[in-house]
A and B are shown apart, each in its own frame.
Chain A
Amino acid sequence: NAGVMQNPRHLVRRRGQEARLRCSPMKGHSHVYWYRQLPEEGLKFMVYLQKENIIDESGMPKERFSAEFPKEGPSILRIQQVVRGDSAAYFCASSPPGTGAYGYTFGSGTRLTVV
């Protein structure tokens, strides 16, 4: 079992470009969570998705950020027109249905640097 796979591991974007972060959950996991970690901070919840559905996006900025988890393929976190303040580590986690309370499995994160 390959675990939660995130790519790329590092991503550099210029201000105004788009960033696409990918997350492949563990086999058998249909729930995906995205978190953002700013420097010297803990992780902050962004969005919780099930296949083809957004369940909770209460932590997503209202503009420029979107997430999807299609029926086939990885979950994508998309940031349009990136700004310096978007520089952070973005973590994806996954769990089987109804087991999030047992603790998710996290990926190794994507570090986004906006220059």
Chain B
Amino acid sequence: AQTVTQSQPEMSVQEAETVTLSCTYDTSENNYYLFWYKQPPSRQMILVIRQEAYKQQNATENRFSVNFQKAAKSFSLKISDSQLGDTAMYFCAFMKHKVQGGSEKLVFGKGTKLTVNP
């Protein structure tokens, strides 16, 4: 079974600074997908960024980028130019590559609570 570990329960950063959230995972699969989701106080789960394991290039979405190290099974999220609206819980998640008739379920870590201070 796959597991996802986020070793930082809480982090804080000053507005406009850069912060990196850590995530490691354990799997015997070769093809899979990794995600970062954001959950603000509204409770809505929002997809931040996605990475396909077969792609060596790290995904980027505006101020958000990842450092994907497949051999080390590491998938960290970097937030540049942090904004007050980035304050939220951040969850790392794993999904196996779907085989025919299979499931597309996500396995989540326990989350990191990020606070951006003015």
A contact set with B: CB distance below 8 Å: 31, 33, 35, 40-45, 48, 55-56, 58-59, 89, 91, 93, 95, 98, 100-104, 106, 108-109, 111
Instruction: Tell me, rounded to whole Å, the shortest Cβ–Cβ distance linking A3 to chain B.
Output: 9
* Per-position binary interface string of chain B over residues 26-59, scored 1 when its CB falls under 8 Å from any chain A CB and 0 otherwise: 0000000101010000111111001010000000
19 interchain pairs, CB-CB under 8 A: A33-B104, A33-B105, A41-B110, A42-B4, A42-B91, A42-B108, A42-B110, A48-B105, A55-B101, A56-B103, A56-B105, A93-B45, A100-B95, A103-B35, A104-B106, A106-B45, A108-B43, A108-B44, A109-B44
Residue of A nearest to B91 (CB): A42
Q: Which residues of B contact A56 (CB under 8 A)?
A: 102-103, 105
Interface residues on B, range: 20 to 34
